[in-house]
Structures are given as structure tokens and as C-alpha cells.
Amino acid sequence: MSGLQLHHATYDAQMGTLDDYRSLFDLSGTRAAIIGAGSGIGEASAWALAAHGAHVVCGDLNPGAAADVAAAIAADGGNASSAAVDITDAASVSSLFSDERVDSAVITPSINVRKPLLDMTEDEFARVIDLNLKGTFNAMRAAGAHMASNGTGSIIVFSSVRSQVVEPGQGVYAATKAGAIALVKTMAAELATNGVRVNAVAPGVVETPLTEQIKSNPDWYQAYADISALGRWSQPFEQTGAVVYLASQASSFVTGSTHFVDGGWLAVDGRFTPPL
């Protein structure tokens, strides 16, 4: 029995063998929806969940990119399909959870407008809020309703170290990432009795399309590498251990939490003023 099918009211599993412990991360027979699977962390998450046995539904605003990822996973022996999903459109997100059972959902999409708050226009503010916070809410609400009706499920929301620490030019983005953690905690509290777990993953700096502006500036790029304890950037695949863990039975007693996969960014004291 998958750990996603167990919750506090019925949990009576006994772990007594090596196979029992190996099975903690086995996602065979489960279905995972990844929103933002066309690139970056979402794409890597789709590969990781498929590698552990899940059927992955690769959802993305770019349906061609989602289909390419699903095809590549399938060609390598995984079980994958794709769907067009616009996280800012509640109906589009709901359609991802309308037909077949979904056991875990990974929500990754974000945008950023790097400007001082006094220079941020109302339209720019609305664009970041609409995708990062409202879009995350849309996805959480659709996944939460679906999973609550099934009595089980795991929702995994991507936040950021910017939910905790800020720098000039990151104010609105940081607000959305802090807001996402507040939504995670609230939904975890509200849906716990329905067997649904809700958690966040908060990366440091990751080499994805979202960070192209930083990577194109050598001084900025190196400064971000130097801020963390490990002294380098993360690759998208390095975020997926937390995703597999939170989707699996291994985290059956984990909800309402934030997992910082930041290379020690928050553990050490670093400072950089970006060229805005």
C-alpha cells in the first residue's frame, strides 16, 4: 500500500524489514501532477518522481515543452503524459485534477520583476502577484479539493529563501514567496483531517530560466555563489530529493513544513547589492 493512501485515522503500518524501509520512497501506482514541468525545477521533479515509479502528468503553460519532457521520460522507460496548464486560470488548473486520481502535486511556476519598490509599476506588481501568489493559490485549491475528496494526497509548493531574507529589487517576489508559505501552513491545518499533507520547498539560487538575468552578469553570478555555505549554485535536480521525499510515504508525518534546499544560504552571513 502506498504511503499516500494512509493517514492518521487508519495508519497502522509496521516497519520491520529492509524492504519495508526501501518501500518508503516507492511511488509505484501513484499519479503525480507537476505544474511547470516544461523546464527547470518542474522538469527535474517530473523525472525524479517518474524514476521512483509515479505516473507523472507534465503540466506547463507551454504545451510543447511539457509534451517533450513527457516523451523523453517515456522513452527512458518512465510513465508520463502531458497537459497544457495556465496557473493564472483557475479553470485550466482545475482541469488537471478533474479526470483521474492525483496523489501528489508539485507547483513550481514563478516570475520576477527585479526593481526597487519605488520604481515598481502597478502592472508589474500585479503580474508578479497574479502568477506567483494567486496562481499558487489556484493550484493549491484545485489540488486540495481533489485530494480531500479522495482522503489522501501530498501538495508540494515551491517557495524560496526570499521568503525569509530579501535584497534590493526583490520585494514583490519575496512577498509572494512568504505568502506561499502562509498558504501552505493554512492548507496543511485545514486539510489534515482529510488525509492531505501540504509542504513547501524553498531553494536558494538555482540555474533555471528564471535566473538568466543573474547568470548573464559574471559578478552577480559569482556573488550569489559565494553567499551560500557550499559556495555554488544549485542545479535543478538537486531540488528533487525534497520533492520525492514529500511525495512519498517517507514523509507521512510531515505537513505544514518548509524545506530549505539552499546550500546553506540561510546558515551563513552574506550580502550583495545587485545592479538594478
pLDDT confidence of residue 272: 66
Neighbouring residues of 43: CB distance < 8 A, sequence distance ≥ 6: 37, 58, 69, 236
From 11, 173, 224, 245, active-site residue: 173
- What is the four-CA torsion angle of 263, 269, 270, 273, rounded to 10 degrees? 130
pLDDT confidence of residue 7: 42
Q: List, run by run, the mean pLDDT of 10-residue segments along the chain (276 residues).
A: 42 77 96 98 98 98 98 98 98 94 97 96 98 98 98 98 94 98 98 98 91 85 91 96 98 98 90 70
pLDDT confidence of residue 138: 98
pLDDT confidence of residue 4: 43
pLDDT confidence of residue 207: 92
Cell, residue 54: 509515479
What is the three-class DSSP state of 202? strand
173 is catalytic: yes
Question: Domains in the chain, ordered, with CATH?
Answer: 20-263 (3.40.50.720)
Nearest-angstrom CA–CA distance, 231 and 263: 8
Answer yes or no: pTM beyond 0.95. no
Could you give phi then psi for residue 87, rounded to 5 degrees? -65, -20
pLDDT confidence of residue 9: 43
Placement of cell 552577480 in the chain? 220
Cell, residue 153: 494526497
